[in-house]
């Protein structure tokens, strides 16, 4: 999935995973998209500081 597809899926209420089921993409109260580890609740940004480059490969993102 590319960046716009990920954001659209989140807006549509779908759960987007990154790599495996332990990592989900979330949108926080500040409208930031983050990759969250469900085992320890740590987060990283969905993208680099340029707001364009994903923090994982496009092929790592999927919905079920």
Q: How many domains does the chain have?
A: 1
| Cα separation, 18 vs 62, whole angstroms | 7
Residue whose tokens read 């469900």: 38
- Could you tell me if residue 57 is inside a domain? no
- Could you tell me if residue 63 is inside a domain? no
pLDDT at 64: 93
pLDDT at 53: 97
- Could you tell me if residue 60 is inside a domain? no
Give the global pTM: 0.94
pLDDT at 48: 97
- 34-55 confidence digits (pLDDT tens): 999 999 999 999 999 999 999 9
- Of 3, 44, 50, 48, nearest to 24 by C-alpha is 44
- Could you tell me if residue 54 is inside a domain? no
- Could you tell me if residue 8 is inside a domain? yes
- Could you tell me if residue 64 is inside a domain? no
């Amino acid at each position: 999935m590319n960046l716009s597809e990920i954001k659209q899926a989140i807006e549509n209420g779908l759960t987007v995973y990154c790599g495996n089921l332990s990592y989900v993409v979330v949108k926080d109260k500040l409208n930031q998209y983050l990759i969250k580890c469900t085992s320890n609740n740590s987060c990283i940004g969905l993208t680099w500081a340029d707001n364009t480059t994903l923090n994982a490969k496009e092929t790592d993102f999927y919905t079920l």
